[in-house]
Chains A and B, each alone.
Chain A
Amino acid sequence: MKLKIALVGNPNSGKTTLFNSLTGNNQHIGNWPGVTVEKKEGLVRTNKDITIIDLPGIYSLSPYSLEEVISRDYIFNEKPDVIINIIDGSNLERNLYLTLQLIETGVPVVLAINMMDVIAKNKDVIKSESIAKLLNCPVVEITALKSVGLEELITKSIDLVNKGYKYRPVVWYKERIENIVSIISEKIKPKVEQERLRWYALKIFEKDEKVLEDIKLDSKDKDEIFNLINLYEKEMDDDSESILTTERYNYINRFIEKVYFKNKIKAQSITHKIDKVLTNKYLALPIFVLIIFLVYYLSISTIGGLLTDYVNDTIFGDNGLPGLVTGWLESINAWPWLIGVIVEGIIGGVGAVLGFLPQMFVLFLLLGILEESGYMARIAFILDRIFRRFGLSGKAFFPMLMSTGCAVPGVMAARTIEEENNRKVMIMTTTFMPCGAKLPIIALIAGALFRGSPIQWLIAPSAYLLGILMIIISSIILKKFKGFAGKASPFIMELPDYHLPSVKGLGFTVYHKLKSFIKKAGTIILLAAVIIWFLSNFSWSFTLTSNAEESILASIGKLIDVVFTPLGWGNWKAAVATFTGLVAKENVVSTFGVLYGFAEVGESGAEIWTLLAVDFTALSSYSFLVFNLICAPCFAAIGTIRREMGSRKWTWFAVGYQTLLAYVLSLIIYQIGMMFTGVFNVGSVFGIIALVILIYLIFRPNKFLIKS
């Protein structure tokens, strides 16, 4: 029998662990359509007929947060056969609040009380049978981490479907409320399924916007119902939604003491002791800086960096795989273009993907440890004050820092940010940080046009400053547009108890993250690398050419370089270099080398400094640098943005925004800069207009902000 089971629970309830234990390697990870929220589906290891869908961690089924709406929509549109509601046994009261709402949906619920090992160790008592009787649903005691109780959980879920679940309301609200609810039920009866009737009636009592949209009450009924509710609200001096919330909690309060006996909790006192240090008034920030440094040091500069260099330079270097394959292909007399496609296009493309894996592996491992141990939540607590000024989350720090190494893990680190809009902004803007591959461009410009200048040493720091500034400014600008205008949501989150991360759990997370990166980002990178290779190695007569100037890409460069004239660098070499930068930013330097007639140039392109100085002025070269720092990142990063956004539209928007911002910024820098040298023309007017628009976008009032 095919079954669809939805897994629902609070954040920190062990939901992911349970999902991993149940499904093992039979998982598919993607995003919910069009949003940055991760969607995980898997087949039960011991019974492949059962699909488990891991819904986002939520506290409630309110219509206000994205995660909650996703869960609600799934439960109602996809109609899972059973909901497994996992709850943290050491925190029954708050967890059961969601349970009550889930039961009200009318979908059969199996309650899985997790962390029974901790309960046993603390000598707490949970009377599962009493809870099962009270809530009219099967209760299974489990320890997800040790895979205890999982068989029973699945068996009971199947049983529940086989026996034919009969919905019976659990919570009866105050008589007055029930009266109004039954009046609503009468009115909407023809419009909804029988098992869902009570849920819809209660939601209408709560004046739930989403449900009111779905169920179009005729205006007479609506007036009648709303009059009753309004009258009751006035009487109670509270809104109907809050009244039900309070009632649900009160219901739990009334029975919790009879089913749950808690000893003084040991774990918590340990947590308090750790927090005395980690969130200490004076120590918190230094410790945070130290931890950040360690993560960066291990993943970007040492272990991860070294492994990535090894993969890039040794395995995919000239003497590695490409050399071997070239030799073999030549020995069987393959066509030169085929060798090119395979070696430079495909192997180069695959190398670009695989090269990031070691860095990402170390990064995800470390971020996983921080997340699972409970420290990540403390970061938000410590840094919220600083970042909120710019409408960013305290956790925005990680993506920014990672991106100074490589934008790929940087974009992926945005996953830890708690709110959809903040996450989107960070995914879009974190690539502004100068990554490792952009450093050669900085060195090239600083060397070619600022050598000996008193401000030469400023070029590199200015790139970092620009990155940070543009992230902040973008956050301010973007948040004022409709697509980012979220409902005012309060910052309130749980600080979970500290605990040691499990090796098994970490392994799972890292493995699946890397796998989904290879799958999603890999295809894009591969395709793009092959296309750019083709354009830069073929002439219009579709023959292989070794003269870079004859390539299709060069002629495209010559055609479009006029676009960059207002930025001060309307020459085709610069245009082509910018294009090849899309494959990997360090290509900008090597492309210049090739175009200026050098087969190979050093990392900072010292050979072409003097040649470059002829085609550029200091100002136009800086404008070129700014454009290349801010514009669309390399394909690997774009692929990652696609993977994280979960939407093609948003990916295009991100790339478009980045490129537009880069253009506007370079325009302002070049044109306003030219004015200081005494040049004033049409370009200056555009420069001034661009600056005014940018300033307006930053300072205009935010009409979507609801002041609380």
Chain B
Amino acid sequence: MNTLDKVKIGSDCIIQKVSGERPIKRRLMDMGLIPGTRVHVRKLAPLGDPMEIMVKGIELTLRKADAFNIIVEEVAEE
């Protein structure tokens, strides 16, 4: 168990739970960050934040502080 902001760049994880204040949580989930969804952590912005992730074939960017609300299980590298 880990939070999304701490997942290693280039690796995959699966969302376990989304927490946080209602508006934040709802927005994250509306964008498709639903428990059970596989996320690929692509890269960090040049200044180290925000991060770029890939979900359901779409590139998303979010701040580490918001990614902290997303609890994930890392997927062992294949």
Contact = CB atoms under 8 A, between A and B. Distances in A.
Contacts of A265: 57
Contacts of B56: 93-94
Contacts of B20: 490, 708
B39 to A, nearest CB: 12
Contact of A381 (B34, B48, B50): B50
Nearest to B25: A242
Contacts of B43: 279
B10 interface: no
Contacts of B60: 492-495
Q: Which secondary structure dominates where chain B touches chain A? A: mixed
Contact of A64 (B23, B52, B62, B65): B23
A91 B57 contact: yes
A129 B49 CA distance: 43
A486 to B, nearest CB: 9
Given A59-B30, A94-B56, A491 B66 contact: yes
A117 interface: no
A492 B59 CA distance: 11
Interface size class of A (residues with CB under 8 A): 35 or more
B48 A93 contact: no
Interface string B37-57: 100000101111110100011
A279 B32 contact: no
Interface size class of B (residues with CB under 8 A): 35 or more
Contact of B52 (A93, A238, A495): A495
Interface string A369-387: 0000000010011101110
Given A94-B58, A246-B29, A490-B24, A385 B69 contact: no
A495 B57 contact: no
B8 interface: no
Contact of A491 (B18, B29, B47, B50): B50
Contacts of A91: 57-58
Interface string A495-511: 11100000000000000
A492 B65 CA distance: 11
Contact of B32 (A249, A384, A496): A249
A489 B27 contact: yes
Contacts of A494: 31, 58-61
Contacts of A489: 23-24, 27
A490 B66 contact: yes
Contacts of A491: 50, 61-63, 66
B37 to A, nearest CB: 8
Given A490-B27, A492-B63, A708-B65, 19 more contacts: A64-B22, A91-B57, A93-B32, A94-B32, A97-B32, A242-B26, A245-B30, A250-B34, A271-B59, A284-B45, A382-B45, A385-B45, A385-B47, A385-B50, A388-B63, A488-B21, A489-B27, A490-B24, A491-B66
